[in-house]
Amino acid sequence: MIRLFHVSKFFDQCAALRDVTIRIDKGECVLLTGPSGAGKTTLLKVIFGSEVPDEGQILVQNRNIARLRQGDVPYLRRTIGFVLQNFQLLPQKTVHENVVLPLIIQGVKSREAQKRVKETLGAVGMEHKRAIRAGGLSVGEQQRVCIARAIVNRPMIVLADEPTGNLDGELTMEIVELLKSIHAQGTTMLVATHNQVVVGCMKGRVLHLQAGRLVSDTRGEGE
Ligand X SMILES: Nc1ncnc2c1ncn2[C@@H]1O[C@H](COP(=O)(O)OP(=O)(O)O)[C@@H](O)[C@H]1O
Residues that bind ligand X (CB under 6 A): 11, 14, 16, 34, 36-42
Residue 190 CB, shortest distance to ligand X, in Å, is: 13
The residue among 26, 62, 24, 25 whose CA lies nearest residue 43 is 24
The residue among 22, 33, 24 whose CA lies nearest residue 1 is 24
Q: State how far the Cα of 18 lies from the Cα of 39, in Å rounded to an integer.
A: 9
User: Closest residue (Cβ) to Mg ion?
Assistant: 41
| Residues in region 151-170 near Mg ion by CB under 5 A | none
Residue 85 CB, shortest distance to Mg ion, in Å, is: 6
Contact window for Mg ion (CB under 5 A) among 32-40, 102-110, 124-132, 181-189: 32-40
Q: State how far the Cα of 111 lies from the Cα of 128, in Å rounded to an integer.
A: 19
- How would you classify residue 87: left for phi > 0, otherwise alpha for psi between -120 and 50, otherwise beta? left
Rg (CA), the chain: 17
Residue 36 CB, shortest distance to ligand X, in Å, is: 4
- Selection from Mg ion, ligand X, none that 36 binds (CB < 5 to 8 A by kind) is ligand X
DSSP H helices, 124-168, are 139-151
Query: Would you say 28 or 51 has its CB closer to ligand X?
Result: 51
Among residues 5, 15, 41, 134, the one that binds Mg ion under rule CB under 5 A: 41
Query: Would you say 134 or 158 has its CB closer to ligand X?
Result: 158
User: What is the side-by-side strand order in the sheet with 55-60?
Assistant: 14-24, 2-11, 55-60, 63-64
Contact window for Mg ion (CB under 5 A) among 41-49, 72-80, 149-157, 170-178: 41-49
Residue 80 CB, shortest distance to ligand X, in Å, is: 17
- Interface ranges with Mg ion (CB under 5 A): 40-41
